[in-house]
Each structure stands twice: as C-alpha cells, then as structure tokens.
Structure 1
Amino acid sequence: MTVALPPAGTVTVAGRRMRCRIAGAGPPVVLLHGIGRTLEDFAAQHELLARDHRVISLDLPGHGGSAPLDTPHTLPALASAVAGFLDAAGVADPVRLVGNSLGGAVAMRLTADQPARAASLVLVNSAGFGREVTVALRLLALRPLGRLLLRPHPAVARRTERAIFHDPAYVTEERIATALAVARQPHAAQVMLELIRSLGTWRGVRPRWREELLTMVAALDLPMLVVWGDRDLILPAHHLAVARARLPKARCHLFRDTGHMPQIERAAAFHALVTEFWSRPAR
C-alpha cells in the first residue's frame, strides 16, 4: 500500500530501500527519529543545520518510507541498519549523531558497537535512562491487545500527537495525516510490536539492555549532550537526572514548558544549543 508521505529520496541498503533526506555541506550530522515516527520529526532542524553541515535524516527500517528488515526489529538491528546506510551513502567520516526517543537509544547502540562512527552524541528525550514510559506503549507489549491498539484510526493518531507536544498548536492536521499514513503501512504494526516487546514489558522498559548500553556509552571519551522537555508525557523528565548520574561527562539541558520533541517545540533554541555544543573543542 502506497502512503502519502512528503517527498524524500532513498538509498538502497542490503537490497532494501531506506527513505532519507540529505542536504548541505560540512561536518556530517545524522538525525534519528523515535518509535513509530519518521524523519519529518527533524524537518525544522534539517533545514537549520544544513546551512553549515551535511545533514542526513532517515526513516529507520520499517518506519515511514523505509522497508522493513528481514529479521526481527531490535535495537541492535536498527543500529546496524544505520551503519549500513552510512556505508551505502558514502559517509566515511565520524558523524554527529542526534537521536530523539528511540532514535537516541539507536544512536547510543551504534556508538557502543562502532565507536569510530561517532564524533559526538546528542540525545533528545532519549530512551534508555529509566523504566518509566507512557502507558500507551506499555499496553502494546500485551498480547493480543497490542495489535488491536495499533489499528489506524484518526482519533488515536490525534491523541498520540497531543501526548507528544506540550503546546497543542503543534498538533496539526498535517502531522496527524502523516501519522495515519505511517500506521497504515502493512508492516507497521508488526515492526512496532517487535520493537516494543524487545525493549520492554507492560511493566516498563527492560533494565538489562539499558544497564549494558549506558555502561558502554559512559566508558567512551566522546562529547555528549542530553536534553529533555520538562512536560514530556512519553518519557518523564526525571530521566535527565539519571543521565547526569550515568553519563557524568555529558552536558545536560532542560527545556521548560516543552514536551517530548524539543527539536520541534523549541526549534531555534535547540539549534542554538546544539551548534554551540558542537563548536566546543573536542576532548
């Protein structure tokens, strides 16, 4: 089934298409979205950063316009797919990784598995810092309830967008239409269920993969910035305190009156913060 997603290009990775946008010139930046989302969540940052960077936004496998994997969709599988994308796109230099929500965990996993790939990490309301997650995602781990809850419906799409943003002005008809288009992909529900059940249970996010990943990332001598919105209803803002404790070398920032996507709700301030962070001399 063809979905009405905004125009973008594709790169073939191991015989599968990955939808992407690539623009600008300069140090390479890779923008990674969250679970069930698309590269549209970084549209504003893509445009701003492309003024002086080579910016790559992509749909993770099984999301948006990217084909699903032949193997189960797990965190390591997504990280490996991003690495494959970089190879296919001819990106040899270390990249500045920016990940929101699940995309943050993917960025950490890629960095832990292949440290030479990363020049720095920017983690935006990232998964991986605590057990707590919105009940809407925890319920998806229950069989067979999860598949029933993932049936595409305009009211569900609107509720989901409303939970993501603190300011309801960002819950636009365009964003709701994109969410519905993505949910109507024939493989969308299966990809979501595989990811949800590999990362957590109805009780919350599993501790084992979080502990392993944070230990590996903390051991890296890599510039890191962790940001959060204080009104996040998906992953609570107190996870930022965990980030401070587990990644003591990281710089942290809390956006006030902001939900799960500071890169959208605080686009100009987010861009200024990130580019200032990148301008600092590397350790």
Structure 2
Amino acid sequence: MMLEWGAERLHFTVEGAGPALLFLHGLGGTAGNWLHQRRYFAATHRVIALDLPGHGRSTGIEVPFGDYALAIEAVVKHCAVEQVSIVGLAAGARAGLAFAASRPAQVPALVIVNAFLRLTPEDHRRNVELYDLLLQPNGVTAWGEALLSKMGMTAHPGINRSFMRSLSGVDASHLRRIFSETLDSDQEDQLANVPAEVLLIRGERDDLIPAYTIEDMSALHPGTRIARFPELGHLPYLEDPAAFNAAVAAFLRPAQSPAETSAN
C-alpha cells in the first residue's frame, strides 16, 4: 500500500487481524526484511510493516531521521489504529522509540532489537570509520563486507549473499547521513520516560552493537525485560525466526514472560 505524505510517498504492508503490531526495519532495510514475522504474527495480529522514508519503495531520501517518527505517525493514523505495539531493529527501533515517546498512550509495548542509545568515544569512532567507507570509491561493497563481519553473520552465507545483492540499490550518501543523525540523536530521556512495556533483544554475537548498550538501556527503564540469543548476531529475526518470534510473542502476552530469558 502507498500513502501520500506531504511531498513523499510511504510504502507499507498490512496483514492479518487483531491487535496492531508494527515492524520497523534497520538502516538500509525494507519492510520485506520482516517476512517471517509478518507471516507468523498475522495469525493473531494486524501486522503493519513500513518502508521508512528513503528506504525500499518509500520516497523521502532527504527526510531527516528526526522526522521518521512523523512518518510512523502518518501510517498509524491512516490505518486508524488506536494502539500499536512496535518491534524495531537498530535505527528502526530508535524511530519507534521516538514515536512511542511522542504518543505515549498509543504504544503499549516496544521491542528494541540490537540498538544503542549511547556509545563510548572509542565505539563512536569505530562506527564512524565503518560508515565512512560508504563515501570511498567502491565503498558500498567494502562497507557491506565489513558490516556483515561486525554483525556476526559469518555462519549465515545465505543471508550474507542476499544482503550483498541488496547493496546495488543503496544510496551511500543517504545511509551515511542517516547513520550520522542517529549518532547525534539523544533519546535517553525518551526511553526513561516512555510508559510502554519494553523488551530488549540482543544477539550476543553482534559486535556492531556493543554488549554494554543493553545494560545501559535496561537501567533507564525499570521493569525492562531482556531476551538474549547467545548463538545469534545482529539479525536474530532472520537467523532464527522461530526463536525470535517466540520471544516476541511471549512478551506480547501480558505478565507471562520472566524478567530475563536466554534463547538458543
């Protein structure tokens, strides 16, 4: 489906019926990344998956990261959704958090997958260097290979091949700019004050997102639940969809999940 949003067009999918559940991809991704989750949760939920501005089939390559929450708001309003739980990866999780903070009564549950709100100066420098590869000649390929390594994806050649093929449609300067904007975006107060129930999901083999970030976020939001996947990396929803879906489904069932779980 397409929605006119000012001068831009937003692409999104809607499947199933029941409580609304919105999936938000990471930087450079699309709504198609969540295909396993869309099929699974459509049996119990009204599942919405959005191509964020400038991604996939959505226009808006000049839209700043700070306006992504407005795009989410437009789609949620168009779908006439009163309440929507959100599952987001990395930058998508950050956009979902911004929307939840702006519409606190509208988001009862928020799942944050492999994201950070703060980096140490050294990790900040390393991530800037990684994304600076995009600006070099033939840098998209070098960036993609380095990114896959840091994401802990060496055990998943099929995912790696699909990811590298997808880079043909990447706008390098767009990715670099949005990443820089996420680095500069301070959302700690948003997480500390958002009333939504929060689940933090971490793939323990993910070196792109430092291990300390999940503890930092948990400390900001009392009652936060954590699901750890020791054998998975940055993309647990693709690496082990069944385990990922089970963790999210358990969280969405009120008061049925322990404070912290470990998954394999």
* Shared fold per TM-score greater than 0.5: yes
- Aligned-pair distance for 1:126? 1.5
Letter in 1 for 2:36: A
1:238 paired with 2:228, answer no
Higher relative contact order (CA closer than 8 Å, sequence separation 6+):
1
Identity %: 25
Letter in 2 for 1:168: H
Note the aligned Cα RMSD (angstroms).
2.6
Partner Cα distance (1:261, 1:59) in 2: 17
Letter in 2 for 1:87: K
1:79 paired with 2:69, answer yes
- Aligned-pair distance for 1:235? 0.7
- Cα pair distance change 1:85/1:14, threshold 3 Å: farther
- Aligned-pair distance for 1:218? 1.9
- Aligned-pair distance for 1:58? 1.3
1:112 paired with 2:101, answer yes
In the alignment, what sits opposite 2:179? 196
Partner Cα distance (1:149, 1:229) in 2: 32
Letter in 2 for 1:39: A
Letter in 2 for 1:33: H
In the alignment, what sits opposite 2:157? 169
- Aligned-pair distance for 1:168? 2.7
Stretches of structure 2 that go unaligned for 5 or more consecutive residues are: 257-264
- Aligned-pair distance for 1:12? 2.5
- Cα pair distance change 1:246/1:157, threshold 3 Å: same
Aligned residue for 1:115, secondary structure, equals coil
Count matched residues. Answer: 254
In the alignment, what sits opposite 1:269? 243
- Aligned-pair distance for 1:281? 4.9
1:124 paired with 2:98, answer no
In the alignment, what sits opposite 1:93? 82
Partner Cα distance (2:22, 2:143) in 1: 30
Report which stretch shifted further, 215-224 or 268-277.
215-224
- Aligned-pair distance for 1:123? 0.5
Answer whether contact 2:110 2:198 (CA < 8 A) is retained: yes
1:157 paired with 2:144, answer yes
Stretches of structure 1 that go unaligned for 5 or more consecutive residues are: 1-8, 201-205
Q: Deviations over 1:234-268 (max 9, x none)?
A: 11222111122112221112111111111111211
Answer whether contact 1:22 1:57 (CA < 8 A) is retained: yes
- Could you state the TM-score of these two structures normalised by the residue count of structure 2? 0.85
